Amino acid sequence: MSFNDWLDKIFPGRQAPEKIVAGDYTHIEFILDASGSMAILKGFVVESFNGFIQEQKKLPGNVSFSLVTFEGGDARNIKYAFQDLKDVKELTALDYQLGGSTPLFDAIGLSIDDLKKQFARLDAHKRPSKVVIAIMTDGDENSSNRYTKQQVMSMIEDQKRLDWQIVFLSSDLSALKTAESAGIRSQSMSGYAASQAGVANAFNNLSRGIGTYRGASSASSHINLKKESDGD
């Protein structure tokens, strides 16, 4: 049975084959800002996101991948969920529609809560051994109405104790400060310039960090994005 067939079985709630054991896969959840201000970066993001996916596909190991976008009208727009990374298709400009504000706390809170519910349905040996949440935005929180900063901070700390890796990319300094104050590790954050080179460098940096983590022997290793993507 292929990894993709297995994902089809477990996430609708059906039983997985017993031969699947812990350590067989990583789950990556990508949370992408789709607010109106991302318009100047849209083409660069689409291009670099697709490059990131292609680079991750080259690495060994099973990965399930989810893409979620967020904006003021929809803080959790699931583009696809728990797909076998090898089957993830290129993002297009049509897929990535923009508009509205930046409910950053709601996007993070909803994703963490949804992942917890999904994994709670599974026997322990069928859950991913490594979980990565990657967040990309160009601005700071400005419109959440479901989750507060304190709630998100508590959720992040809980998941860090389970060795979930939460990484944060932003071209906005205040957003980086907000992310750090909410509990995201400073080495797991990266700034980037609002330019084609800046976005490309951010995704390259992210791919390197996640790739190193995927190859690590322990889930308690931390993703390090300490090389800032300055986009000069």
* Per-residue model confidence as pLDDT tens digits over 180-194: 999 999 999 999 999
Residue 232 in any domain: the answer is no
Report the pLDDT averaged over residues 54-75.
Answer: 94
Report the pLDDT averaged over residues 214-224.
Answer: 89
Q: What is the pLDDT of residue 219?
A: 79
Cα separation, 84 vs 169, whole angstroms: 24
- Confidence band of 231 (pLDDT split at 50, 70, 90): very low
Close Cβ partners of 48 (under 8 Å, ≥ 6 residues apart):
199, 200, 202, 203, 204
Range of the domain at 133: 3-12+22-215
Task: Please state the pTM of the whole predicted model.
Answer: 0.89
Give the chain's mean pLDDT: 89
Residue 224 in any domain: the answer is no
Residue 222 in any domain: the answer is no
**What is the number of domains present in the chain?**
1
pLDDT in tens, 145-155: 999 999 999 99
Please say if the pLDDT value at position 19 is more than 80. Answer: no
Report the pLDDT averaged over residues 13-41.
Answer: 74
Please say whether the beta carbons of 164 and 158 come within 8 A.
Answer: no
Report the pLDDT averaged over residues 174-183.
Answer: 96
Please say if the pLDDT value at position 173 is more than 50. Answer: yes
Q: What is the pLDDT of residue 156?
A: 97
Residue 211 in any domain: the answer is yes
Q: What is the pLDDT of residue 149?
A: 96
Residue 228 in any domain: the answer is no
More confident site: 126 or 11: 126
Residue 229 in any domain: the answer is no
Cα separation, 28 vs 57, whole angstroms: 12
Residue 210 in any domain: the answer is yes
Residue % of the chain over a pLDDT of 70 = 88
Structure token pair of residue 32? 């992408």
Residue % of the chain over a pLDDT of 90 = 77
Q: What is the pLDDT of residue 1?
A: 64
CATH of the domain at 87: 3.40.50.410
Close Cβ partners of 90 (under 8 Å, ≥ 6 residues apart):
50, 53
Q: What is the pLDDT of residue 228?
A: 42
Q: What is the pLDDT of residue 170?
A: 97
